[in-house]
Amino acid sequence: MCCGKGDKGENRRISNNEFRIRKGDGTMLKITNIAQSYRGSADEVVAVRDVSLAVNGGEFVAVQGPSGCGKTTLLLICGALLAPDSGTATVEGTDLYALPADARARFRAQHIGFVFQQFHLIPYLNVRDNVLAGALATGAPLPATRAEELIGRFGLAGRIQHLPSELSMGERQRVALARALLNQPGLVLADEPTGNLDEASGDVVLTALADYARAGGAVLMVTHDPRAGRIASRTLSMRAGRLA
């Protein structure tokens, strides 16, 4: 397995035309008075407390805070993966949790891209097929040409037949980025995307997310990475389930 440090990848700026985002009008993500709690072994744990937030196209918003403050729960709600106890969440004007489960899954695949700390690549699929997996839930023909364009733009053309176990950590995250951008989503959600990467590989990821926002997409990232404040267009703090 290749996992050497300093995997710089391809860190050039990516143009608007290369990303080809399906742009929405104005606000890409809007959450209003979101609350979410869990039943613990003894007491109720409140993860998110009355949070409201809007992210527009062209914005890169970073949310920072300690572990356990509710960042990941907030991201799951924004990504149509966890219905809140109360409040509303809309993406490109669509109320996520008013949709039936199957329609919500299809909408999520078409309009929201995800980048996770743990990559979540399918171990028995090569780079090309892992990227194409991002389109399976859309019900549309697989966009093979776009997948290969993104693979090339992230410096992975020479790795296209490799399995995840044959890639470095930085290469795996670039595969995950290509998968997230495959369907030209208006919104990209990133959960600690640099958490498992060395500094150079992390810079590649942060630059790609910033470029995507500059191209007209909306990016919401939760992170401990101190570089987020320098590269995001807006940085928020989360403490005890509340945004500040």
Listed by start position, the domains of the chain span 17-243
Place of tokens 């958490």: 195
Instruction: Kindly report, residue by residue over 203-238, the tens digit of the pLDDT.
Output: 999 999 999 999 999 999 999 888 888 899 999 999
Distances in whole angstroms, Cα of residue 213 to Cα of each of 21, 127, 159, 205:
10, 24, 27, 13
* Dihedral sign from CA coordinates of 61, 180, 95, 72: negative
Give the amino acid at 124.
Answer: Y
pLDDT of 12:
47
Whether domain 17-243 has CATH 3.30.1330.10: no
Beta bridge partners of 235: 62
pTM (predicted TM-score): 0.88
Q: How much is the mean pLDDT over the chain?
A: 89
pLDDT of 15:
47
Residue 19 has pLDDT above 80, yes or no: no
Q: CA triplet 113, 62, 97: central angle to 5 degrees?
A: 45
Instruction: Kindly report, residue by residue over 94-108, the tens digit of the pLDDT.
Output: 999 999 999 999 999
Confidence of residue 68 (pLDDT cuts 50, 70, 90): confident
